[in-house]
Structure 1
Amino acid sequence: MIASVLIDPMLPTLKPSFLVAEALEWMEESEIAQLPVVDSERYLGLVSLPLLSEPGLTGRALSDFPLEHSHIFAGEDQHLWEVVDLVIQHELKVVAVLNKSGAYLGAVPVAELYEKVAEMVAAGDRGAIIVLNVKPHDYSLSEISRLVESNGAKIITSHYSSSYPYDTTGNSELTIRLNQVNVGPILATFERFGYVVSEVHANEPVTSVDQERLDMLMRYLAT
């Protein structure tokens, strides 16, 4: 899923000529504390509620204020996870999306990102999560998938993460989510082939294959 598909057409776009009072009204109506400022399809940056909340500013134009994140945006064909990374790295409430010519296309609110991420990992469905400790030179998703499928199950999503160079053992983690909760035979197969299983979550709904990203998004939604 790419950034252009994630754009919320209902999200307001502010102009530099807008007064602070107008911007605050749009923020209240859209229930979001940050909005993009655009002039003739040229993305100028973001304006945030804390910047506009000081007394005596309501009659001033947005052009009087230094805008934030003028160089932070997503390209129209960037993947959802790349957009999520921008949100986390820069603590954004919305992400502007530009086309290949640099023209502003729209913006993606964090709430929309969370919904799409939840859909992508099927967060409401039941299915086992298994975390394997693997060495990078031994890692083969196709081999692991073959072992899973030999037990009549399938890998629905997977996430590979490496702690190198911080982990001196050189081990990495592969998190896989399956389409069933009965994982006894699969665990036995992994053990037989020398794989180290560090975690098994087989009886609870899946919440994430990348918990850190989703936790950050939830924190943004709560503010």
Structure 2
Amino acid sequence: MIAEQLVSQSIIPLQTSDTGEVALEMMAELGVRHLPIVNNMQLLGVISEEDVLNFDITEAVGSYGLSLPKPFVNKADHILEVMRLQTELELSLIPVVDEDRNYLGSISIDGLLTQFSRMAAITEPGSILVLDLNKRDYSLAEIARIVESENIAILNSFVTTYPDSSRIDVTLKLNSQSTLNLLATFERFKYEVKATYLETEFVDSMKERYDALISYLNI
């Protein structure tokens, strides 16, 4: 899935003539802390709630004289690149542009996580296992062989790394909820199973983390 397919039609950009009060109202309505400012389809930058509150909210945002950051993704960028940039910059939304830098729309973090969960088969029936291992020991081929030996299929997998650590988490989305034999097999092959979830438990866990992130962005 690419950025162009993730654009939310409900996010309307600000014009330079819009007041700070209008900007705050739109942010509250959309549940975001940032909005793009556009002029003649050209992205001028992204303004935050904090930026607006530092000025007179009755004045037009174009009069603030801000040197606005201009983060964006190209319409053909993959969803993982969108997630990387949005997380790195701690944005509640990110603009999408075409080859000529014309503004096409924005992607909200809420919509992004929803689409990612679908792409990652998180909501498909089954279970999720998290393995804890050293980077040098990671072999997806070996892990897949162990899983398939128990007549279970991997629907998706992803790796989580940690700064200044040689350890990684390997998260496996499986097509079966019956994993007791698989857990024993992993143990026999000296793999450490860090966590196991049924599909609903994992979705609840992801929602808790998402809510925590939104709370952080709202500070």
TM-score by length of 2: 0.81
- CA-to-partner distance for each residue in 1:173-213, whole Å, 9 max, x for gaps? 32212111211222233334x231232414462536x96x9
Other-structure match for 1:141:
140
Residues 16/173 of structure 1: CA separation in 2 closer, same or farther (3 Å cut): same
Q: 2:191 aligns with which of 184, 189, 196?
A: 196
Residue 42 of structure 1 deviates from its aligned partner by 1.5
Given the superposition, is the C-alpha separation of residues 109 and 173 from structure 1 closer, same or farther in structure 2, using an over 3 Å criterion?
Answer: closer
Q: Give 1:152-171 correspondences, 5 Å limit.
A: 152-163=151-162, 166-167=164-165, 170-171=166-167
**Larger relative helix fraction:** 2
Does residue 121 (structure 1) correspond to residue 120 (structure 2)? The answer is yes
Cα distance per residue 1:94-134 (max 9 Å; x no partner): 10111222221111112211211232334445533223233
Residues 182 and 202, structure 1, Cα contact 8 Å, conserved in 2: no
**In structure 2, do the counterparts of structure 1 residues 87 and 124 end up closer, same or farther at CA, with 3 Å as the change threshold?**
same
Q: What is the rounded CA distance, in whole Å, between the counterparts of 2:7 and 2:185 in structure 1?
A: 44
CA distance in 2, matches of 1:134, 1:56: 53
**2:179 matched residue in structure 1:** 183
Q: How many residues align?
A: 214
How do 1:25-174 and structure 2 match up within 5 A? 25-53=25-53, 56-58=56-58, 60-65=59-64, 66=66, 68-70=68-70, 72-163=71-162, 166-167=164-165, 170-174=166-170
For residues 55-107 of structure 1, what are the alpha-carbon distances to aligned partners after superposition, in whole Å with 9 as ceiling and x for unaligned?
8431x22112215322x111212222222222222221210111222221111
Identity %: 28
Q: Is the 8 A contact 1:114 1:218 kept in 2?
A: no
Ranges in structure 1 where 5+ consecutive residues have no aligned partner: none
Structure 1 residues 200 and 21, CA gap change in structure 2 (3 angstroms): closer
Distance 1:52 1:197, change over 3 A: same
CA pair 189-6 structure 1, distance change in 2 beyond 3 A = same
Q: State the 1:21 CA deviation.
A: 3.6
**How has the CA–CA distance of structure 1 residues 51 and 172 changed in structure 2, closer, same or farther, with 3 Å as cutoff?**
closer
Q: Is the CA contact 1:133–1:195 (under 8 Å) kept in the aligned structure 2?
A: no
Tell me the distance in 1 between the aligned counterparts of 2:135 and 2:47.
43
Contact 2:128 2:198 in 1 (8 A): no
Name the CA distance, whole Å, in 2 between partners of 1:27 and 1:120: 28
- Say whether the 8 Å CA contact 1:127–1:204 is kept in structure 2: yes
Q: 8 Å contact 1:159–1:176 — kept in the other structure?
A: yes
The CA RMSD measured in Å over matched residues stands at 2.8
Secondary structure of 2:45's aligned partner: strand
Matched position secondary structure for 1:207: helix
- Can you give the 5+ residue segments of structure 2 that lack an aligned partner in the other structure? none
Secondary structure in structure 1 of the residue aligned to 2:69? coil
Q: 1 CA distance for matches of 2:212 and 2:168?
A: 27
**Which residue of structure 1 aligns with residue 11 of structure 2?**
11
Q: Residue 218 and residue 43 in structure 1: after superposition, are their counterparts in 2 closer, same or farther (change >3 A)? A: same
CA contact (8 A) 2:186 2:193 kept: no
Residue 219, structure 1, aligned to residue 215, structure 2: no
Contact 1:12-1:30 at 8 Å conserved across structures: no
Q: 1:141 to 1:53 in 2, by over 3 A?
A: same
TM-score, length basis structure 1 = 0.80
